[in-house]
Amino acid sequence: MLRKALRTALAAGGLLVARQPTQAQQASAAIHLNQVGFYPAAPKLAVVVGAAAGQFQLLAAGSEKSIFTGALGAARYDSLTRQTVRQADFSACQQVGTFVLRVPGVGTSYPFQIKPRVHEAVAQAALKGFYYQRASTALPPAYAGAWSRPAGHPDTQVLVHPSAATAQRPAGTVLVSPRGWYDAGDYNKYVVNSGITLGTLLSLYENFPSYCTRLSADIPESTNALPDVLDESLWNLRWLLTMQDPADGGVYHKLTNAGFDGMVMPAACHTPRYVVQKSTAAALDFAAVLAQASRVLRPFGHALPGLADSCLRASTQAWTWARQHPASYYRQEALNKQFQPAISTGAYGDEDVRDEWAWAATELYVTTQNERYWLADILAPGPLPVANWGQVRPLAYYTLLRASATLGPAGRRALPQVRQQVLALAARLQAGRATHAYSTAMGRIADYTWGSNAEAANQGVALLQAYRLSGERLYLTAALTNLDYLLGRNATGYCFLTGGSSRSPQHPHHRPSEADGVPAPVPGLLVGGPNPGRQDNCTYPSALPPLTYTDAVCSYASNEIAINWNAPLVYLVAAIEALH
């Protein structure tokens, strides 16, 4: 069993830590820490379940040599997991190397490293995760290693679904809509979810351009003039452009099979694909992301002639369509009563599009510097939420902050409120560390939803905006606690990134990982994480929210992967690397 875990971790690119079989054999699931590692000068914390008071030690991996000793903290009852935990704080240890933490009577932790740039491999792997999600192309061994695969889903014969029929494009019209990323464990391509995913990656580039220029994902385009994060984004952006109907500017909600494909490789899928109904949410997310892309790509005009202009034109046309169709919601059940074939794939139905208006308006406003795109309700009173696919207002706020020096009059007037709301959100998140047993910003019961790991990552992104805004180091530290959470300091003890460590998911709900015959899952993918909803009816080890995670392929509710979850992880880890 352990042998297999070791082999698998090594097959996964030996991603992060040199495994130490002697100690790994004793690795205790009771010691929860970031299994990748720590920056020398940063806080370092492990959480130990069920330990008596006493000492802990740091040992150089593979030896019995103790290099640091500390006392476990006071016992603390965690009402969410009904466990008693103690913290092992070894922040004072700044020695570089590979270590394990030993707690007498409990055991020895998974190995981890202390060193500068300790998360660089995670940033590369998580960005590379998008490459593995590419549709309509073969992944050759030179780039995909053991996970190389033939092309699937060419999407050169996509049918207009009756729900999307127009006079110019009646039902059954054949469209060409290749490329894009598979959304998740399934093979469909959804505009709404692509929007926030691309917006997050483009924002990473806009906030940290020089770090992004250095960040390589070893993809076929790595040697060209563009940073890899932009090359990878272009794979999806070029698909997105095909989702607009040139006749009216409207944007199809998704490109999908009628039902989900089986657990087979892309090349084995041949069922018809459709574009379905145009929706307001899709048009606005499309408008937002293409306005942002236009701004980001303009300096690369020599390599991408005309693309920035095409993006802006597409964006304004989608905006105009949304103005004319402000309530064209995607309602799958209603649609299925009216049209054949019935569609049963991901809905991404969003009937509150006020935040999508805010985001589209903001991106158009900042890109064009035209006051006519300003909308009074770009700002919303009350607490700013953490971003997710159905709540994109934070992306508008972050763009306003980033562009603060060049905003026109309306934008400038809005800035004090934007600053105040972003700081209030970050203050709330960072304060959570004091009350959560694992001392991460992540940890309120409400944080555990479908895709809770993206909640953790997006909280981290919010905290980083506050850090950029205020220079207050505690926000950077708080963001790092959520990276620690994702990489192992959580109640399940899993490092939630495939291939990330010796205790990473082995059985994600991800068709290629299940069907490719390779023992290790496709690396660099963030699973959804604890989800008390347990909508998949799989067997879970616990019903307590922080523990409702199962590393089982059936578990689409806790163990699927998704592009909108990987993107904030890429942002969080790359930004943290850039800032350390």
Whether 442 and 485 have beta carbons less than 8 Å apart is answered as yes
Residue with smallest beta-carbon separation from ligand 9MR: 346
Considering only residues 160 through 199, tell me which ones interact with ligand 9MR, judged by CB under 6 A: 183-184, 186
Q: Which is nearer to ligand 9MR, 264 or 347 (CB)?
A: 347
d(CA 75, CA 470): 34
Considering only residues 289 through 348, tell me which ones interact with ligand 9MR, judged by CB under 6 A: 346-348
What is the 3 state secondary structure string of 287-343? HHHHHHHHHHHHHHCCCCCCHHHHHHHHHHHHHHHHHHCCCCCCCHHHHHHHCCCCC
Letter string b/e over residues 252-277, b meaning 16 or more CB atoms within 10 A of that residue's CB: bbbbbbbebbeeebbeeeeeebbbbb
Q: How many residues bind ligand 9MR (CB under 6 A)?
A: 11
Using DSSP's 3-state secondary structure scheme, residue 71 falls into strand
Contact call for residue 474 and ligand 9MR (CB under 6 A): no
Catalytic residue among 261, 285, 455, 551: 551
Using DSSP's 3-state secondary structure scheme, residue 520 falls into coil
- Quote the DSSP letter at residue 84: E
Q: Which is nearer to ligand 9MR, 38 or 565 (CB)?
A: 565
**Tokens read off for 529:** 């994480």
Tokens 């309700």: give the residue: 377
Contact call for residue 568 and ligand 9MR (CB under 6 A): no
Minimum CB distance to ligand 9MR, residue 14 (Å): 29
Q: Which is nearer to ligand 9MR, 257 or 362 (CB)?
A: 257
Determine whether 183 is an active site residue. Answer: no
Determine whether 551 is an active site residue. Answer: yes
Cα 64 off chain centre by: 38
Contact call for residue 450 and ligand 9MR (CB under 6 A): yes
Tokens 């020695």: give the residue: 95
Minimum CB distance to ligand 9MR, residue 259 (Å): 12
Report angle CA 532, 258, 191 to the nearest 5 degrees: 70
Contact call for residue 556 and ligand 9MR (CB under 6 A): yes
Instruction: Cite the DSSP H helix spans in 354-408.
Output: 354-368, 393-402
Contact call for residue 49 and ligand 9MR (CB under 6 A): no
Minimum CB distance to ligand 9MR, residue 185 (Å): 6
Determine whether 509 is an active site residue. Answer: yes
Catalytic residue among 183, 350, 560, 577: 560
Q: Which is nearer to ligand 9MR, 119 or 534 (CB)?
A: 534
Catalytic residue among 484, 509, 514, 577: 509
Minimum CB distance to ligand 9MR, residue 278 (Å): 19
**Tokens read off for 176:** 């060409």
d(CA 343, CA 335): 8
Catalytic residue among 78, 183, 186, 261: 186
Nearest to 287 by CA among 387, 348, 366: 366
- Among 101, 387, 553, 562, which residue interacts with ligand 9MR (rule: CB under 6 A)? 562
- Among 195, 432, 451, 488, which residue interacts with ligand 9MR (rule: CB under 6 A)? 451
Contact call for residue 455 and ligand 9MR (CB under 6 A): no
Contact call for residue 560 and ligand 9MR (CB under 6 A): yes
Minimum CB distance to ligand 9MR, residue 553 (Å): 13
Considering only residues 341 through 400, tell me which ones interact with ligand 9MR, judged by CB under 6 A: 346-348
d(CA 333, CA 350): 13
Q: Which is nearer to ligand 9MR, 228 or 455 (CB)?
A: 455
d(CA 565, CA 233): 15
d(CA 337, CA 329): 15
Determine whether 245 is an active site residue. Answer: no
Binding site for ligand 9MR (CB under 6 A): 183-184, 186, 346-348, 450-451, 556, 560, 562
Active site residues: 186, 509, 551, 560
